[in-house]
Amino acid sequence: MTASNETSGTEQAIRLSNVCKSYGDYPVLKGIDASVARGEVVVICGPSGSGKSTLIRTVNRLEEINSGSIFFEGQDIHAPMGGRALNRLRSRIGFVFQNFNLFPHLSAVDNVAMSPVRVKGVNPAEAHDKALKLLDRVGLAEKAFSYPGQLSGGQQQRVAIARALAMEPPVMLFDEPTSALDPEMVGEVLNVMKSLAADGMTMMCVTHEMGFARDVADRIWFIDAGEIIEEATPEDFFRNPKHPRAQRFLADLR
Ligand code: ADP
Ligand code: MG
């Protein structure tokens, strides 16, 4: 996307500036500088324990940071703010977890309709109608009144995506959304993510699904030991990874 066809505000959806985070005296993020443009899909990959989850969780402030800043549409999301402001901010940054995190006592449609009613004050009937449409969009119109326990993992994850979309977030974050799924269910979730990307959603996805990365990502961030050590297009990353640790990571996947 070029600045010339940008209609409102800043071109960057998310910008991280020298973000550092430690657990105790163990540094997990060591000065992350990176940004995501509007409409861009970034795939974050790297070895287990490298800081991928911590990084993505700082972006909607599920984790605090020790220094640096993170801007979402120009707003400093780690600035001091009250609980309501933080909830409002979080509601604009959709988050999809590895383990779905649905409310077990609510049907699919109620899981999807809940936050718009609670956080945004949307009229319940309207939220319900919209939730049905979103479930249709993720291919689950027939499961609207099923409970999470009656759904497969892939179906639950699609409900979780619909639930995040219900808040109409301009940005969606995914932390290994298919890692907890049986292999035959991975595709249905990736297809929903692909269709979101095709619709122009700004996305940050932590995933080990390199086929998805190759087909859908605009850019790959390779993170190792708390640093982004390579940032490249999928073409460059897969064909010609520059950093030895990225080369090793890719070799181990084969
Ligand atoms: P990844 O998602 O890349 O596997 P994480 O971001 O989950 O990595 O973790 C990065 C490092 O931080 C790991 O060494 C992990 O053990 C450590 N870590 C993660 N969460 C915590 C926590 N709440 N307390 C202490 N250490 C943590
Ligand atoms: Mg992780």
At 5 the pLDDT is 38
What is the ipTM, given to two decimal places? Answer: 0.98
At 49 the pLDDT is 97
Average pLDDT score, the chain: 94
pTM over 0.90: yes
At 1 the pLDDT is 40
Q: Please name the residue that has the structure tokens 């049907």.
A: 107
Q: Is the CB of 49 under 6 A from ligand 1?
A: yes
CA gap 70, 32 in Å, rounded: 10
Q: Is the CB of 50 under 6 A from ligand 1?
A: yes
Give residue 10's pLDDT band: very low, low, confident or very high (50, 70, 90). low
What does the angle CA 107 – CA 110 – CA 114 come to, to the nearest 5 degrees? 145
Task: Report the b/e string of 95-113 with b at 16+ CB within 10 A.
Answer: bbbbebebeeebbbbbbbb
Contact 100, 174 (CB under 8 A): no
Stretch 82-92: mean pLDDT, rounded? 91
| Side-chain half-sphere exposure of 211, counting CA atoms within 13 A | 7
Give residue 35's pLDDT band: very low, low, confident or very high (50, 70, 90). very high
At 254 the pLDDT is 76
Stretch 108-137: mean pLDDT, rounded? 97
| Nearest residue (CA) to ligand 1, atom 16 | 49
At 30 the pLDDT is 98
